[in-house]
């Protein structure tokens, strides 16, 4: 299995530009999570989906952030307009929410965003 695949790995953009981050979860996983990691705040949950439906987006910092999951194998996190304080590493993770499993999160390698 290829694991969780994220793109792009690195993104440098200017303030005000739109940023789209992409994620392909592990096939068969029914939960998908978007996290943001910074030195100051650590790993923060932004939003998660179950069976492609957004369940909890209370971690999304502002209306500038939006996430979609049009099908079981693809999700996007969009920031529009981007600001320097959005600079962080954004992780996508997936898991299988079956009884009897540990619920282990499988993370992608992250998308490192720098907003100038």
Partner 1 sequence: QKEVEQDPGPLSVPEGAIVSLNCTYSNSAFQYFMWYRQYSRKGPELLMYTYSSGNKEDGRFTAQVDKSSKYISLFIRDSQPSDSATYLCAMSGTKRNNRLAFGKGNQVVVIP
Residues lying near partner 1 in the complex (CB under 8 A) are found at 4, 31, 33, 41-43, 45, 48, 50, 55-56, 91, 93, 95, 97, 99, 102-110
Considering the complex, state which of residue 54 and residue 81 has its C-beta at the smaller distance from partner 1: 54
Considering the complex, what minimum distance in angstroms separates the CB of residue 62 from partner 1? Answer: 21
What is the closest distance, in whole angstroms, from the C-beta atom of residue 115 to partner 1 in the complex? 19
User: CB of 46: closest distance to partner 1 in angstroms?
Assistant: 13
> Which regions of 4-84 does DSSP assign to beta strands (E)?
5-7, 10-13, 19-24, 31-38, 42-50, 53-56, 65-71, 74-79
DSSP assignment of 64-97? TEEEEEEETTEEEEEESS--GGG-EEEEEEEE--
């Amino acid at each position: 299995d290829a694991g969780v695949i994220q793109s792009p790995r690195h993104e440098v953009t200017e303030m005000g530009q739109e940023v789209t981050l992409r994620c392909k979860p592990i096939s068969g996983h029914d939960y998908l999570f978007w996290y943001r990691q910074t030195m100051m705040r650590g790993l923060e949950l932004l939003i998660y989906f179950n069976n492609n439906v957004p369940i909890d987006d209370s971690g999304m910092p502002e209306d500038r952030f939006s996430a979609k999951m049009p099908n079981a194998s693809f999700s996007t996190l969009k920031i529009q307009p981007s600001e320097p304080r959005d600079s962080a590493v954004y992780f996508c993770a997936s898991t299988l929410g079956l009884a009897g499993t540990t619920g282990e999160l499988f993370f992608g390698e992250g998308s490192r965003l720098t907003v100038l």
